[in-house]
């Protein structure tokens, strides 16, 4: 009699196990269409467990709902126990909601670590932590940002390789913050692939912090933005003015061969100036290097004006 009761109870145990998200169904093999992140939860802001390169096999075990990526909120959990958006997979014909079990209600949770910070300089917020990646937003100095995770493997900015992911769903260099955040309160971002806005953007986010829109490249295209670049004074001295004109008051003076860090470029009546990290302007002709010629990666200061409307700005 005890054995009969156990046998009759087994189907119920399987049902409850599936409801908890512990599915045992066979995985469905599909492929990454391009570089894509496999996340700890099915939301754009969640840290990465790993990433798949274009063409890599992804074995999906169950489906769930998360951040809307272009036209789908469907995410799949892989055999690596992380989540990939359906949009980044080559197979767009399979009905995963019929072919696979639901991962469980708990799988939809967005578990984030958050920490407040303030930018010290004008900053490009990028889709991945290198200056070769697309700019999502141009953020002004003194702007408050909310950090979600950190990576020590970004591109070296001056002497610091640490970058922080923000709730703009893009990365800022730690060097651009007033102070280093306490990373003990933040999750590591995990492995991060090279991404492009053309194939990775969230058109209609399911929440404010997830929202990110594709943006056109700023004009003129010759200026592909970068972070702080350093140049050296090539004259006996270089005056740093309160605005990009010689009639403006002098804020500070740099001496011959002094290293100066620049934020962005301004053109005034055919003359190029650079805003330094002292928030004053020097004529580019006073430097050994030509920031608008030798360094093509310095952004125009106008990109940071009127946040939310500047070209390439993904800020609200």
Mean per-residue pLDDT, 150-178: 94
Min mean pLDDT across 115-124, 174-183, 255-264 is at 255-264
Is the residue at 216 inside a domain? no
What is the overall mean pLDDT for the chain? 81
Residue 163's pLDDT band, with cuts at 50, 70 and 90, is very high
> What is the model's pLDDT at position 214?
33
Question: Which of 77, 108, 139 is where one domain is finished?
Answer: 108
Residue 234's pLDDT band, with cuts at 50, 70 and 90, is confident
Q: What are 187-196's pLDDT values in tens digits?
A: 999 999 998 8
Mean per-residue pLDDT, 56-63: 96
Mean per-residue pLDDT, 103-122: 94
Q: Where do we find the tokens 């900015």?
A: 157
Is the pLDDT higher at 229 or at 272? 272
Reading the block at residue 180, the tokens are 């280093």
pLDDT at residue 170 above 80?
yes
Same domain flag for 194 and 137: yes
Taking a C-beta distance cutoff of 8 angstroms, is the pair 224, 292 a contact?
A: no
Domain that holds residue 65: 17-108
Question: Which of 108, 129, 149 is where one domain is finished?
Answer: 108
pLDDT at residue 222 above 80?
no
Q: Whole-prediction pTM value?
A: 0.72
Same domain flag for 123 and 203: yes
HSE-CB of 233 using CA atoms within 13 angstroms: 16
Is the residue at 220 inside a domain? no
Longest Cα–Cα distance of the chain, Å, equals 100
Is the residue at 120 inside a domain? yes
Q: How far is CA 192 from the centre of its chain?
A: 10
> What is the model's pLDDT at position 68?
85
- Number of domains present in the structure of the chain: 3
Min mean pLDDT across 76-90, 94-108, 212-226 is at 212-226
Same domain flag for 287 and 246: yes
Q: Three-class SS of residue 61?
A: strand
Reading the block at residue 72, the tokens are 């789908």
CATH number at residue 21: 2.30.30
Q: Which of 193, 199, 224, 49 is nearest to 128 (CA)?
A: 193
CA-angle at 131, arms to 126 and 134, nearest 5°:
45
> Per DSSP, what are the bridge partners of residue 89?
32
Same domain flag for 53 and 132: no
Same domain flag for 122 and 78: no
Same domain flag for 30 and 102: yes
Mean per-residue pLDDT, 207-230: 46
For the chain, how many helices (H) and strands (E)?
Answer: 2, 19
Is the residue at 307 inside a domain? no
Residue 202's pLDDT band, with cuts at 50, 70 and 90, is low
């Amino acid at each position: 009699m005890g054995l009969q009761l156990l046998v009759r109870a087994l189907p119920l145990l399987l049902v409850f196990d599936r409801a908890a998200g512990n599915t045992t169904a066979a995985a469905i093999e599909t492929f990454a269409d391009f570089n894509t992140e496999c996340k700890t939860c099915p939301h754009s802001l969640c840290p990465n467990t790993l990433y798949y390169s274009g063409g890599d096999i992804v074995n999906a075990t169950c489906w769930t709902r998360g951040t809307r990526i272009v036209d789908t909120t469907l995410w799949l959990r892989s055999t690596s126990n992380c989540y990939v958006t359906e949009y980044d997979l080559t197979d767009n014909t399979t009905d995963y909601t019929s072919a696979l079990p639901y991962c469980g209600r708990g799988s939809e949770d967005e578990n984030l670590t958050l920490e407040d910070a303030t930018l010290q300089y004008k900053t490009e917020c990028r889709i991945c932590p290198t200056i070769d990646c697309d700019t999502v937003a141009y953020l002004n100095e003194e702007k408050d940002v909310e950090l979600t995770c950190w990576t020590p493997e970004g591109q070296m900015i001056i002497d610091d390789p640490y970058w922080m992911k923000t709730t703009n769903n893009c990365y800022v260099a730690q060097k651009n913050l007033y102070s280093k955040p306490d990373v003990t309160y933040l999750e590591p971002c995990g492995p991060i692939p090279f991404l492009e806005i053309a194939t990775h953007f969230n058109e209609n986010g399911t929440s404010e912090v997830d929202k990110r829109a594709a943006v056109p490249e700023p004009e003129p295209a010759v200026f592909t933005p970068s972070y702080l670049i350093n140049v050296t004074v090539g004259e006996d001295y270089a005056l740093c003015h309160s605005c990009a004109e010689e009639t403006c008051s002098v804020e500070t003076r740099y001496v011959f061969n002094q290293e100066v860090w620049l934020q962005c470029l301004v053109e005034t009546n055919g003359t190029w100036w650079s805003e330094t990290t002292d928030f004053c302007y020097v004529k580019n002709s006073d430097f050994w290097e030509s920031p608008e010629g030798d360094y093509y990666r310095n952004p125009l200061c106008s990109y940071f004006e009127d946040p939310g409307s500047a070209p390439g700005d993904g800020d609200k």
